[in-house]
Every structure is written in C-alpha cells, then in structure tokens.
Chains A and B, each alone.
Chain A
Amino acid sequence: MTPAIQIEQLRKSFGTVTALDGLDLTVQTGEVHGLLGPNGAGKSTTIRVLLGLLRADAGRAVVLGGDPWDDAVDLHHRLAYVPGDVELWPNLTGGEAIDLMARLRGGLDPGRRRNLVERFDLDPSKKARTYSKGNRQKVAIIAALASDVELLILDEPTAGLDPLMETVFQQFIAEAKTDGRTVLLSSHILAQVEKLCDTISIIRRGEVVQTGTLAQMRHLTRTTIEADTLRPAGTLAESAGVHNFHDENGRARFDVDSEHLDAVIRRLGELGVRSITSHPPTLEELMLRHYGDELAGAGARGAR
C-alpha cells in the first residue's frame, strides 16, 4: 500500500531563517502518526507544505498520491486540517463556521456533526468572537471530524482544550483510526503522542531525528525516579533497565525502562525508601538527553 504521506529531503527557509533542513517523513495509510518536537522545530511549516499553503524550496512531498502544491484542491476534498491557532470570523456563529468549512471541503455527515457538537459540549449558536481559544479549537476539530475524509492533519489540536475534552478528542481519534483513516498529529506533549499514536517522528531544527513505533521508542518512555533510601542504592545501577544512575549523598536519581519498572521498584523497596518521586521525562529532557539540545535554545527559535 502506498504511504499516505511521503516527504523526502524537504527544505524551506524564511529569509535567513531555515525552517526545514532536509526533512524526511513517511506516514503509512491507516496509521496515527505523531510529529513530536519542541516549539519552532518545523512542525507547522511541514504541515503547511503538506497543505500546499507554503511552497518548499527543495525536496519532494507526496500527499495521498498527489502533489500538495499543484493538486491542492483535489487533495483537500480528501483531507481535513485543524490549525494550531484557530481563527474564526467574529460575526459568524460556531455552527455556521463548522458548516461552512465542512461544505467547502465537500459536505458533512449531519448525524456525526450532532454527535460531535454534543460530546464536545459546544454551543454552536454563539458568535465566534465570544469563544475562548478552546472553543475555537473545538469548532475546527468538529468541522474536520464531521467530514468524510481519508486523512486528518492536526496541528497541536488540543492546546486549548481542558483534560475532559482532551479525553473526548482521544476517543474520536481512536474511532477515526478504527474507520481506517490516516492521522498526522503534531504535538510538543510527549504524553499525548504516546496515548494516540502508532508511530512517532521526532523533529528537531527542521529535520526528523528519529522515527519508529512506540515499542522502538521505548527509551523515550523511561520513568525518571529520585529516591532517598536507608541503605545505599548503588547496587541498582547494574540492574536491567536502569540508565543514567547518579548517587548524590544517598539520594539516587536514575531512569528506568517501563518494562523493568516493577522489578526495580521492588528492589528499591528492599533498600528502605524514605522518600520517592517519579515522573515521565518531559520532551525538553528527552531533547536535552538524547540530542544535546540546549533547553533555552529549544523554544527561542522563531516558532513557525
């Protein structure tokens, strides 16, 4: 089966700023693919090229078998897009905006629309100028999901949604996957990508530095543990699945692979735990650890 999206050596600069620097990306048909990267890494630029809004300087992009720039109109019948910053027409109601966008794409399923509006708890009769960021995002999400399309391109779609709505969103993405639709989801939140995606591509400074299935990315889902123990914890350093072990005055700090977490916690218990904290690694930590990014630099480059 041909991939839904195939990008080879894509390059794009804005003046002196290089946004995409030889980016490669393949999204298989029917998968949920996460595009993970810090702000300014080039996620939105990649998506805008895929939508034919931006013209790449070099490289090749194929979307649903067509050229995103030349065949934009035909392709857009078959895909739906949710931008990161949803801007709506202030004097149109949310419901009007949903219908308009879906109609321009080629129509919508009224039953699905009703269901989406209800589940996302949106009042479609309010004027868009009264909507919060989260509500504007709901409008774009509903318009996209209510359309019968093969490919969903979602650019940080839940940035303004509350946790409850985030859960609703996840359910709909799962449904879309069951229906056989392809989803490209960009995010800078690791946990979100982890929950939804089959495959993840990590993008950094305009190129994909790693791509693979979640299992292949197991090292990304290590848990960081800091523990204060009665007896020295130095023996843990040699245990299977433990990485980056540090001992600072009796306070141990290390990362554990998820599949070894249970065993490591048992051994830790035997050492007499006085206090313990654990957290999943943040994207920033991952970037710092795996790719040597500077924390300050990650967010400072112009977001595009």
Chain B
Amino acid sequence: MTLLKRGPSRRRVLQTGLAGIIATGVAPAIFTRGAWAQEFCNNPTGDTVTFGLNLPLTGAYAEEGADEQKAYELAVQHLNGEGDGGLLPMLKPSALKGNGILGKKVAFVTSDSQTKADVARAGATRMIERDGAIMVTGGSSSAEAIAVQGLCQEMGVIFMAGLTHSNDTTGKDKRRYGFRHFFNAYQSGVGLAPVLAQEYGTDRRAYHLTADYTWGWTQEESIKNATEALGWQTVQAVRTPLGAADFSQYLTPILNSGADVLILNHYGTDMVNSLTQAVQFGMRDRQANGKDFQIVTPLISELMAKGAGESVKGIFGTSNWHWNLQDAGTQAFTKSFGAKYGSPPSQAAHTAYVQALLYADAVERAGTFYPPAVIAALEGFEFDGMGNGPTLYRAEDHQCIKNVLVVQGNESPTSEFDVLNIVQEIPREDVAYDPAMFGGDLGPAEPVPMCA
C-alpha cells in the first residue's frame, strides 16, 4: 500500500482545505444578499401572474394529463377575458371579473411530471424557483399530489390538486397549502356500495387488483370496508405495480380463487389494460358460485372507458363529474371545451378547470396573493354552479364535499364519447364524513415559508 510515500502533505492539505471552506462560507453572503426583497414566495410584481402546471404528459396517466392541460389553457383564457367565458359567469358567489387576477394577466408554465413523484417535485420546484409560479396545480396521481403538496407547504406556495383520489391527500397527508376539489376513495366506496348491493346482491366474494401506491391502497381499503359492510367477503387483494402493461399473471389466479366479483383499483392505462385483458380472459362470460362473474371499476373516467371500448359496457364505477349532466354549469363547460378541442371534457379536465377558477376567485375575494389570506378565503367556501351542485371547501381538511356520480358503461353508445351512463347522483350529505377520520394535520399557514 505505502509504496510511494510522498512529501509533507498536511500543510498543503490544510491550506487548500481552509481556502475552500472560507470560499464556501463567504460566497452565499455575496450572491444572495438583498436578492429577495419580497414578503412571500413569488409575490407577483409585474403585470402578469404565473400558474405552474405540473402535468403527467408521459407515463400511465398521460392521457389525463393532456386533457388537464387543455382545461388549464381554457381556464387561463377565460380568466383573462378571452373566449366565451366558460364557467366564469356560472360560479356563485363569484368575485371574478374576467380581466385576469387582481388586474394581472394570467400566464402559465408547464412541466412534465412523468407520473412519478420525484420528477413531479423537481418540476414543481423549477416552476416555483425559476419561473416564479404563484400557485402550482395539476397532477393526476395521488403519489404526485402528496409529494408536491408537501413541497408547496415547505415553499409557501398554494397547491390546487388536480386529479387525486387517495384518501391520504386530504387525510393523513393533508397540508395547509394543499386543496382538493376531486372526490376521494372513501366517497367512492360509500356511493358505490348500495348500487352494487342492489345489482349484484349481498353475498358476493370479491377479489381486488390494486395499483400499488397510496391511491390504490386507500381505494382498496375503502371499497373493502364499504362492501364488507354489505355482507360481501373479500377473497384476496393483490397489489400490481403502477404502469404494468401486462396483467395476465395477476388475472390467471382469479379464475380458481372462488371469487365472483373482480374489483379493479386501477386508473389510466393500467385500468384500460387490466379491464380489457380481464374481459379477453372471458371473465364476464363465466359463472362462479352459481352467479354471473362481475367486474367493478370503482373509479372510472370517460377517457378510460373510451380506451377500454367494448369491455366497459355494463360495468359500474364512480366519477367526480360527467359532461352529460344537465345543469347549466356542465353544459357551459362542455360547450366551451368542445368548441375549442372538438371533444367533451373528461373529469380530470373539469376538476383542473374548476381548481384554477376557484384559486383565482379566492385571490379576488382576499384582495391579495398573500397565501394565508387566500387559504382563509378558500377554507369553508360554499359555492355552486360548477357542475357538481352545491359544493363546500371544507376548512378542516381542504376536501370539497359535493355530489358523487355512480356511472355504468353504456351498452349502446350513440357516439364515441357517449361511453358512460349516469346511474345515480349520490347527494353530498350521504358521502360527507368526519374530517378527523383519516387523521393527519394541516399544519400552520403562518409564518409563510419563504421559497429561496
């Protein structure tokens, strides 16, 4: 080892080391002094205000991400007074003026979150630190939403969650700076279970396939609790990795498991693949325990139903919203979105659009972009006209409480978009729950953390 011992090293090492340490210690003072003379993160000083759109443009939920992006572009147009105004006149009560937010024109920056929590966080950080985003929104995975929500709390930037259905987002992992308009897995379970009991009876044996992350876990738990309360039994719950392309290895064991219902806790392309493959396996033509074998997809959207095509016919699930609702808000939004993009909006697009409007409205009501004031304006806000009926932004957990739709795959679609039928609209009183049920702690709004 000590073949070539070389000269007295200590002094040189100390000298160089010390120089390095001093340079490291002094440099921050030089570069950062006086750089941040604002009282909260990204206080907009010019005549524009920037939204940060964090969207999965690649990965298992890419299709939802693309639809969300369209919705945000539409929302920004409408907020700036361009286009037909969309839902702007529908929001009641509303402080929106159609001239931007507090007179500032709305701009946006985007980032591809790749349906991965790590990447989503890096993207959100970039939009906050480099592009000066005042608010971050979007995402269509709960893992992303929870990761970004935590980051936004650290940075002092409001996060308006896009499509996230896990109970944890406004439960165990809720944050003061995070808000969710979308419904959650618990509400899906409570809404869906009575319909399942009515259609399939109360002595079923269920087999779950579950996407292996926070959303899948909580949905599996919620559906299990709701169906077991009806008298159903749970045979087994198997976790599948997010983004798996081939589910056959998980589907084969179901046939001999003694189950007569398959519950797919999947979303996006995962759901399209698992549902299509399950139907190709002939599951829906089978008999088990003397009953017809059934498949249930607790959370489903028109994008996925479209992707699954024939396979989705007759299958039950729940949705946050559907473009075929008959209220004025839904019709206005569907018309506006359809006129621009030539297709009806998905529930992901709807929740994204509404979140952008709600944030803008809260800022107008607060009269400032100061996050704690905006948070106070959103907490406990009761509104109507957004297509979901009367809705409450609960102050205790930042969860919107509104009606939940039970939907069924359309047996005889009249167009390529007419793939889901609304079976029932569950009133919001029935799906409300105690905010303390899932634990968690919002944390404080003040002092406002200061992003770098």
Q: Do A and B bind each other?
A: no
